[in-house]
Amino acid sequence: MDTLKTSGRVRALSAGAERPDRPPVVLLPGLGAPGYLVDTLHGCAAATRSHLLDVPGFGGPGPLACAPEIDAIAGAVTAWLDRPTVLFGHSTAAQAAIAVAARRPDLVRALVLAGPTFPPELRRLDRLSAAFLADLVHESPSALPGTVPHYLRAGPRRLMRMIRSAQRDEPERAMPLLRCPVLVVRGRRDTLSPEPWARSLAAASRGAFVTVPGAHTFPARSGGSTSALITEFAEG
């Protein structure tokens, strides 16, 4: 049974049973839109207790859990965690997940980064806009119901603040500091997380790299295979 719970100001959708032999899975959504990761949550819940966090808080009414910036999201997630976990972050949330693992290695058993953003060449709005349009033609409409309502609730000012924060972030500096196993996953047609960039992050952390079908929002159309990657990697 799914349960929706608010701890502090962070809303979390949780599913699955606790497993003493397996750590829980915590999912962080890209650009603050949790809806497209619900299928991934259910897939992970078949293996262990799993949680989908609504950070920075675009998934429901009321005040945000934190400021829509990478550092603030990482702080909110770190405060929410209370045990070692398998942490998954997609898109901008991959950057927040990296920050959590670097700050509190005791809380991250394994780290899965899907479509991590942004390489240095996309830290300018003009180049990022071109990459977004190139990715858009390969995206599936299945991502829209799980993202657009949250983006409308957030509004353009908050979304732009989050994007600019992600562009200022430099996740490549933190990757060599990580002490947990790392898996980097990238959609084959993803222009927001180019292959050389994704591979370099995996190499810097001595982690694994996997390419899957799809574009940037591949988890929206393949929650089952995404959850299988997460749980199989967590099992070693």
Question: pLDDT value at position 68?
Answer: 97
Q: Which residues constitute the domain of residue 55?
A: 3-234
Question: pLDDT value at position 6?
Answer: 67
Question: pLDDT value at position 24?
Answer: 97
Question: pLDDT value at position 143?
Answer: 84
Using DSSP's 3-state secondary structure scheme, residue 21 falls into coil
Cα–Cα distance, 105 to 84 (Å, whole number): 9
- pLDDT tens, residue order, the chain (236 aa): 577 666 668 999 999 999 999 999 999 999 999 999 999 999 999 999 999 999 999 998 889 999 999 999 999 999 999 999 999 999 999 999 999 999 999 999 999 999 999 999 999 999 999 999 999 999 988 888 889 999 999 999 999 999 999 999 999 999 999 999 999 999 999 999 999 999 999 999 999 999 999 999 999 999 999 999 999 999 87
Dig out the tokens for 170 from the structure: 């430099």
What is the CATH classification number for the domain harbouring 192? 3.40.50.1820
Domain count, the chain: 1
Question: pLDDT value at position 67?
Answer: 97
Alpha helices by DSSP H, the chain = 38-45, 70-80, 92-103, 125-136, 148-154, 156-168, 171-174, 195-204, 218-221, 223-234
- Kind of pairing between the strands at 10-15 and 3-7: antiparallel
Judge contact between 62 and 52, C-beta under 8 A: no
Judge contact between 220 and 142, C-beta under 8 A: yes
Question: pLDDT value at position 141?
Answer: 87
Rounded to the nearest 5°, which phi and psi values hold at 55? -125, 135
